[in-house]
């Protein structure tokens, strides 16, 4: 269940309720990331059907404790297939988690109570069990064919 967003701007509606993704400033855009790191998990795509499944295999740059990228500004240099989210990407990517704030805002939905912009606390995403903290294995040294043994459903499940 989504909870209504807190009044975080002295009586004004919060920016994510008044602006489209395209209208947001860079700091507003970046603040929409709740820090769950579900998008930093490797996904597998069935070549024949296009179906995408999640794994618990974390990107080499993911800090498993903070659930943040270890080198966010330079991530594409280390991980060439890292997708930088843009409003266009948010409209077209089918694998964004159902809890993703970018996806929610695009659909005109409220942020969850545990989102740091609502709660005021970056730890609530972890306390609510939404983040990948403590639930991943590193990709470093793992052969691609081993990923199929790490398929999980939880990243695609909604969490209240």
Domain annotation covers residue 1? no
Domain annotation covers residue 108? yes
pLDDT digit string, tens, across residues 5-40: 444 445 689 999 999 999 999 999 999 999 999 999
Domain annotation covers residue 74? yes
Domain annotation covers residue 141? yes
- SS3 letters for the chain? CCCCCCCCECCECCHHHHCCHHHCCHHHHHHCCCCCCHHHEEEEECCCCCCEEEEEEECCCEECCCCEECCHHHHHHHCCCCCCCCHHHHHHCCCCCCCCHHHHHHCCCCCCCCCHHHHCCCCHHHHCCCCCCCCCEECCCCCHHHHHHHEECHHHCCCC
Number of domains in the chain: 1
Domain annotation covers residue 4? no
pLDDT range class, residue 160, cuts 50, 70, 90? low
Q: What is the pTM of this model?
A: 0.87
- Domain containing 20: what range? 15-156
Domain annotation covers residue 2? no
């Amino acid at each position: 269940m989504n909870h209504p967003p807190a009044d975080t701007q002295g009586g004004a509606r919060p920016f994510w309720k008044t602006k489209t993704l395209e209208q947001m400033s860079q700091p507003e855009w970046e603040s929409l990331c709740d820090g769950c790191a579900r998008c930093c998990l490797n996904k597998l795509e069935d070549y024949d059907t296009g179906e995408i499944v999640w794994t618990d295999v974390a990107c080499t740059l993911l800090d498993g404790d903070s659930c943040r990228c270890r080198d966010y500004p330079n991530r594409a240099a280390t991980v060439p297939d890292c997708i930088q989210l843009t409003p266009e990407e948010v409209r077209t990517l089918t694998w964004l988690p159902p809890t993703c704030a970018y996806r929610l805002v695009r659909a005109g939905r409220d942020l969850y109570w545990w989102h740091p912009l609502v709660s005021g606390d970056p730890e609530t995403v972890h306390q609510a069990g939404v983040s990948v903290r403590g639930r991943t294995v590193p990709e470093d040294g793992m052969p691609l064919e081993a990923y199929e043994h790490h398929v999980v459903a939880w990243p695609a499940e909604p969490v209240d």
